[in-house]
Amino acid sequence: MRAYPHNPDVVTAFGASTYNYHRDASRISLSSRLRPVLTMRPGYLTFLDEHGSGLRHFSADSHLTNWLKEKGFEFDVVTDEDLDDRGVDALKHYDVVLTGSHPEYHTRRMLDALLAYRSAGGSLMYLGANGFYWKIGPPASFAVEYAWLFAEVKAGAGEPLGNFGLSGGGAAGFQIDRTATDLGTPAYVTVVAYSDNHDASFVTVPEELLFNRMVGKPRAHSGIRAHMICGFGPSGGGLFAVGSISFLGSLYCAGYDNDVSQIVENCLRRFLAASHISLSCP
């Protein structure tokens, strides 16, 4: 990729990853959690791009933690291991839980913890895409019930949001998610924005082609869209999802004075103000 010189797919001195192959060309399916994570350092670029993309995982998530500091929000960082070890106890004291840009794989205990938190009225902001891999109407950007989400947003009806950013030059890219009611998207959320005009490098995941298309109808726009959704569940907790890995790369533009930053701030403040989680665990 002509990016970072010590790409973990190439440097195998510390052990191989599940993206590598055995000498007989079979795929490696097991890797140690003790293997050094070479991408866990500031400034690591996975890809080389004229817009400064390649910010994924640790580097991309640092956009979010720095934004929280700049905006004055107090926060803790809960790791995957914390969530698996402690279950919902790791979350139940928080008003809002925010994900990083690519929360892809989860254990059963992690998923159960998040579901229990949501069921008890906890609010979740999913700020990435291709996440929660095993489970995972017209846009309503200017509908009255979502006016609070777009307060002080400069873009008007029909105008683009997030056509800037450090990750490929836009808020929708790398890997994207969309709604699908037949796959579990809850009825209480609404699509408030969507991406468009993705090039031919974007394709649907193999399981969508092999399994869902055999029994369901083809997806509109070939399924190639990122959907930003928002809504409040039966227990009162808010749910917000952006549907794009590159979304957090658009927070920083103009020193956080931009529409993407404004939407995230509006959402977080609304969820914090509405927080009424009541959860007890044995």
- Verify that 100 and 234 share a domain, yes or no: yes
- Verify that 80 and 30 share a domain, yes or no: no
- Verify that 33 and 65 share a domain, yes or no: no
Contact criterion met (CB below 8 Å) for 102 and 130: yes
Query: Is position 244 within any domain?
Result: yes
> What beta strand segments (E) does 15-110 contain?
96-98
| pLDDT computed for residue 27 by the predictor | 87
For 133, other C-beta atoms within 10 Å of its C-beta total 12
Residue 184 structure tokens: 């579990």
Residue 116 structure tokens: 């229990």
Report the distance separating Cα 84 and Cα 119, nearest Å: 18
- Verify that 20 and 138 share a domain, yes or no: no
Query: Is position 25 within any domain?
Result: yes
Report the distance separating Cα 65 and Cα 209, nearest Å: 36
- Verify that 106 and 209 share a domain, yes or no: yes
| pLDDT computed for residue 137 by the predictor | 31
DSSP string, 223-254: G---EEEEEE-TTS-EEEE--BGGGGGGSSTT
Q: Which range marks the domain in which residue 24 is found?
A: 1-38
- Verify that 27 and 71 share a domain, yes or no: no
Q: Taking residues 189-216, what's their average pLDDT?
A: 73
In this prediction, residue 94 has a pLDDT band, given cuts at 50, 70 and 90, of very high
Query: Is position 282 within any domain?
Result: no
Report the distance separating Cα 176 and Cα 69, nearest Å: 27
DSSP string, 153-191: ----TT--S----TTTTSSS-SSB----GGGT--TTEEE
- Verify that 5 and 128 share a domain, yes or no: no
Query: Residue 41, by phi and psi: left (phi above 0), alpha (psi -120 to 50) or beta?
Result: beta
Report the distance separating Cα 125 and Cα 170, nearest Å: 20
Residue 165 in this model has a pLDDT that exceeds 70? yes
Most confident option among 80-84, 136-140, 153-157: 80-84
Residue 247 in this model has a pLDDT that exceeds 50? yes
Tell me the percentage of the chain whose pLDDT exceeds 90: 26
Which tens digits make up the pLDDT trace of 115-146?
Answer: 999 999 999 999 888 877 643 233 756 677 88
Report the distance separating Cα 57 and Cα 40, nearest Å: 8
> How many domains does the structure of the chain reveal?
2
Residue 193 in this model has a pLDDT that exceeds 80? yes
Contact criterion met (CB below 8 Å) for 264 and 126: no
Query: Is position 53 within any domain?
Result: no
Contact criterion met (CB below 8 Å) for 125 and 172: no
- Verify that 71 and 169 share a domain, yes or no: yes
- Verify that 24 and 136 share a domain, yes or no: no
Query: Is position 101 within any domain?
Result: yes
Q: Taking residues 271-275, what's their average pLDDT?
A: 86
Query: Is position 45 within any domain?
Result: no
- Verify that 14 and 94 share a domain, yes or no: no
Query: Is position 43 within any domain?
Result: no
- Verify that 99 and 153 share a domain, yes or no: yes
Report the distance separating Cα 197 and Cα 140, nearest Å: 19
Query: Is position 216 within any domain?
Result: yes
- Verify that 23 and 152 share a domain, yes or no: no
More reliable by pLDDT, 26 or 13: 26
Residue 228 structure tokens: 């930003």
